[in-house]
C-alpha cells in the first residue's frame, strides 16, 4: 500500500500488528519516535499510514461529520483496505491493535467504533469519537471484552476530557473493557503515564490495569 511505513517485526512473525495513526501536521516518523521506540518491543509489527497533506480530515473532531467529508470517509476506506490486506495475509482480528495520537486517535476511535469486532485492542492517546457536541454516541455491540485505553490531558486544548469519557462510556456499553486516564499538567503529547498503560496492553497485561476511570 502506498504511503505506509513499516516498523519492527514482519507481519508474519509479529505477535501483534499495530496500526499506528499519526496526528495532524505529523507523519509516521513522529509515531516511530514517540511511540514505537519508547515501547521498544521487537515482537510487534507497526504499520503506519501517512495522511495526505499530513492531515486525516480538515476540521476539528467535534465539527459536524459532514464538514470533514469526503476526507474522513476516504481515511476510513483506507483503513478498511489495510484490514482486508492483513486478513488476506492470514492476520486475524485478534492480532490487530489500533493505536493513534491526537487526530490519529480520533480516527482510530471513529474507525473501530464503526467496526465492532474482537480486535487485539484500541489505544487512543488524546482522542475520542468524532462528532459535534451533545452527540449521543451509540456503538453496536461486538467488542467482546476488547481492551481499550483512552487518554487526554486535564486541560488539553484539542481533546476535552468530557469527550474522552463519553467515548469510553460508548465503547464500554458496546462490550469493550475500558481504561481512562485524564493526565494533569502535561503538554499535548504521549506522557510516560500513558505509555506505561499502553505498554501493558501491547504485552497482553491489560487485565492488570488499575481502574483509571
Residue 211 pLDDT grade (very low, low, confident, very high; cuts 50, 70, 90):
very low
* pTM for the full predicted model: 0.94
DSSP string over 105-144: HHHHHHHHHTS-S--SEEEEET----S-TT----PPS--T
pLDDT of 212 higher than 50? no
Residue 181 pLDDT grade (very low, low, confident, very high; cuts 50, 70, 90):
very high
Alpha carbon distance 165, 181 (integer Å): 9
Q: Cα 103 vs. chain centroid, distance in angstroms?
A: 9
Q: What is the pLDDT of residues 74-84, one digit of tens each?
A: 999 999 999 99
Least confident of 50-59, 100-109, 169-178, 179-188: 179-188
Within the chain, residue ranges assigned H as helices are 28-31, 37-39, 71-88, 103-113, 161-173, 192-202
C-alpha cell at 84: 482486508
Q: Does domain 4-207 have CATH number 1.10.10.10?
A: no
Alpha carbon distance 45, 9 (integer Å): 5
Q: What is the pLDDT of residues 3-48, one digit of tens each?
A: 899 999 999 999 999 999 999 999 999 999 999 999 999 999 999 9
Alpha carbon distance 37, 7 (integer Å): 10
Res 213: pLDDT: 40
Res 2: pLDDT: 62
Alpha carbon distance 134, 190 (integer Å): 27
Say whether 61 sits in a helix, a strand or coil. coil
The reply to whether omega before 46 is within 30° of 0 (cis) is no
CA dihedral 11, 14, 18, 22 (to 10 degrees): -70
* Crossing angle of helices 103-113 and 71-88, rounded to 10°: 70
| DSSP structure class, residue 12 | T
Say whether 181 sits in a helix, a strand or coil. strand
Q: What is the mean pLDDT of residues 103-129?
A: 96
Res 206: pLDDT: 54
Partners of 127 in the β-ladder? none
Mean pLDDT of the residues in the chain: 92
**What are the domain boundaries of the chain?**
4-207
Amino acid at each position: 500500500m502506498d504511503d505506509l511505513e513499516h516498523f519492527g517485526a514482519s507481519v508474519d512473525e509479529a505477535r501483534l500488528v499495530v496500526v499506528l495513526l499519526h496526528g495532524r501536521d505529523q507523519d509516521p516518523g513522529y509515531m516511530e519516535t514517540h511511540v514505537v521506540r519508547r515501547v521498544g518491543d521487537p515482537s510487534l509489527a507497526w504499520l503506519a499510514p501517512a495522511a495526505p497533506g499530513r492531515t486525516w480530515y480538515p476540521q476539528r473532531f467535534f465539527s459536524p461529520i459532514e464538514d470533514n467529508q469526503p476526507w474522513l470517509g476516504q481515511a476510513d476506506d483506507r483503513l478498511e483496505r489495510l484490514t482486508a490486506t492483513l486478513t488476506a495475509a492470514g492476520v486475524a482480528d485478534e492480532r490487530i491493535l489500533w493505536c493513534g495520537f491526537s487526530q490519529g486517535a480520533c480516527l482510530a476511535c471513529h474507525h473501530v467504533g464503526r467496526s465492532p469486532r474482537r480486535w487485539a485492542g484500541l489505544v487512543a492517546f488524546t482522542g475520542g469519537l468524532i462528532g459535534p457536541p451533545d452527540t449521543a454516541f451509540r456503538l453496536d455491540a461486538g467488542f467482546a471484552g476488547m481492551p481499550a485505553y483512552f487518554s487526554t490531558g486535564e486541560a488539553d486544548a484539542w481533546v476535552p476530557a468530557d469527550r474522552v469519557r463519553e467515548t469510553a462510556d460508548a465503547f464500554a456499553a458496546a462490550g469493550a473493557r475500558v481504561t481512562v486516564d485524564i493526565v494533569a499538567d502535561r503538554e499535548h503529547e504521549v506522557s510516560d503515564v500513558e505509555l506505561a498503560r499502553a505498554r501493558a496492553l501491547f504485552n497482553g497485561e491489560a487485565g492488570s490495569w488499575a481502574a483509571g476511570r
